[in-house]
Amino acid sequence: MNLKDILDEKEKKEVISAEPEMDIREALATIVKNKIGALLVKDKEEKLVGIITERDILWHLLKDCEKMMQKKVSDIMTKDVIVGIPEDNVETAEKLMTVNRFRHLPVMDGNEVAGIISIGDLVKCQLGNMKVENRYLTDYITGKYPV
Ligand code: AMP
């Protein structure tokens, strides 16, 4: 299974994004309203320029609570975004998330954002694989296959 398969299976296909100039309060409201954990940050030309997650907001809130709400997305976003491509397999995405300690991986099709994969999407995919394997093993053990 590759990242394109996971994106195709996702119910929510829309990728919610923010502009670098958006203030933090609005970014947080967008995250909460859409029940997501991250916003991709795109400039006016729709180029991916960063990612901001609920963790970024939480970390900065603890550092400087008072000034936090005056900040913009571009002040606290991560600028060096690590991305996957649709042909990457699930193991590659898992490795990228584990090694780099993040839970969101944008998937780029050339210069276009094809989607975003969260650690939850990967867990769901692995769970699906385990269910199928379990079913085949059970059928095999209980003699449902012709010998
Ligand atoms: P997360 O675990 O996804 O909430 O993110 C933890 C930290 O990693 C935050 O500082 C995010 O801005 C950053 N981050 C999340 N996803 C990515 C990514 N794909 N590439 C680079 N940094 C990321």
Probe ligand 1: pick from 17, 41, 49, 55, max atoms within 8 Å of CB? 55
DSSP 84: B
Beta bridge pairs of residue 89 = 2
- Which residue's CA is the closest to the ligand 1 atom numbered 15? 102
Which residue ranges have their beta carbon within 6 Å of ligand 1? 37-38, 51, 53, 55-56, 78, 81-82, 102-106
Quick one: tokens of 110?
A: 């050339």
Probe ligand 1: pick from 53, 73, 121, max atoms within 8 Å of CB? 53
Task: Say if residues 55 and 28 touch (Cβ distance below 8 Å).
Answer: no
Per-residue pLDDT band for 140 (boundaries 50, 70, 90) equals confident
- Which residue's CA is the closest to the ligand 1 atom numbered 10? 56
Task: Say if residues 128 and 21 touch (Cβ distance below 8 Å).
Answer: no
Quick: pLDDT tens for 34-59. 999 999 999 999 999 999 999 999 99
Quick: pLDDT tens for 70-126. 999 999 999 999 999 999 999 999 999 999 999 999 999 999 999 999 999 999 988
**pTM, to two decimals:** 0.89
